[in-house]
Amino acid sequence: MPDSTGLAGDKQPATNLSEAQTPAAAPASVPAARSRRPRLRWILLTLGPLVVLAGVIYAYLSGGRYVSTDNAYVRADKIAISTEVAGTVADVAVTNDQQVQAGQVLFRLEDEPYRIALDAAKAQLALVGNELEALQATYRQKLDSIAKAEADTAYYARDYDRQKELAARQNTPQAKLDESQRNLSTSQQQISMMRNEAAATLAMLEGDPKAPVRNYARYRQAQSQVDKAERDLRLATVLAPRTGIVTNVDKLQKGMYLAVGQTAVSLVATDRVWVEANPKESDLGAVRPGQPATVTVDTYPGVVWRGTVDTISPATGAEFAVLPAQNSSGNWIKVVQRIPVRIRLDQIEGRPPLRAGMSANIDIDTGKRRSLADLAITVRQAVAGGVDQPR
């Protein structure tokens, strides 16, 4: 009993010793932790702004390469199909919103009047050709008549000289001399008249009596009437000028009369589609034709079209407005302008169909790299009052 009591007494102080040492160790660690806090605060206050500044500089230097905007829309050529000849609609070969190919028949006009006009023009052409051939024959005949008349005139001249000599010797009556003189004078007048007639015929043959008939102006004029009649007949059948989709066909009815130049249907071309983007003027500093671009359309999420900057408009949209802004009068408020940029799509085959007016998003890779000098200019401009900066 005493031993166990003694052991128990020996253990009890040990437990009290450990408990007495624990409070003594805790106060020693508190001052160390408190001494590290000011140092950590100083490090954060000193290095924190530097890290933030470095991040801002890095973000600025790595940005500005891409110009993006959602103010972009799909565009296509819109063609108003009108008639070049007047007539009554005989047949409509397409339906509304139908896809057509270039050269496909859209509608036909009644062509009987144009067939009649073509037959008349061909008949007139044949008549003119015959008349020209007759003129050529007449000219040759007149030349032969002139040659005969010249031979007769030579004979009458010799006879007159002979009669004149005989009359001088009083071997012939005066009446014979007068008759011979009259024959010579008449023959000479006939030659002059024949030559004038031949000259008139030659003028009608344009100075070349041996030219092919088709070379004469009268023949070409008649041929032009035939060509016009053939063209009018051909235009009575209206064809699609481009590949695309026809609209407003419901307004075209069989039996309707169409005047020359009257719009019959409309066609939206699908063989050449582009995107018209309208970025801010402050974003166009590095944009140049030929730069690559990517295009997405709201209708087809996840589908990307590749394109190229085709053209940049020489003026803002406000310059083409019916009532342009009058910045030199009244109170003025600066508004960042937008300049149209045309994006030519390089990949259309195998992609979903694009329709004019669809909303699009574009990203143009300008390849630009910002420098610290650009950052200094930006800061200086911001301090001076600020301007709109490219993102």
Three-state secondary-structure class, residue 276: strand
Q: For residue 75, what are its two tokens? A: 């565009």
- Reference 95, options 260, 251, 262, 269; nearest CA is 251
| Rounded Cα distance, 50 and 28, in Å | 35
Dump pLDDT digits (tens) for 296-346.
999 999 899 999 999 999 998 888 877 777 777 777 778 888 999 999 998
* Residue range 68-82+246-320+333-384, CATH number: 2.40.30.170
CB 125 within 8 A of CB 225: yes
> Residue 321 corresponds to which tokens in the numbers above?
């407005």
Domain boundaries, the chain: 68-82+246-320+333-384, 111-235
pLDDT in tens, 216-264: 999 999 999 999 999 999 999 999 999 999 999 999 999 999 999 999 9
> How many angstroms separate the CA atoms of 383 and 105, rounded?
66
Q: If you write DSSP's letter for every residue of 135-163 in order, what string do you get? A: HHHHHHHHHHHHHHHHHHHHHHHHHHHHH
What is the token pair recorded at 332? Answer: 């003025």
Contacts of 351 (CB under 8 A, 6+ apart): 303, 305
Cβ atoms of residues 362 and 277 within 8 Å: yes
DSSP state of 318: G
What tens digit of pLDDT does each residue of 280-295 get?
998 888 899 999 999 9
Question: What would the two tokens of residue 98 be?
Answer: 């139908």
Q: Which residues, including other chains, have CB under 8 Å from residue 70's CB and lie 6 or more apart?
A: 359, 360, 361
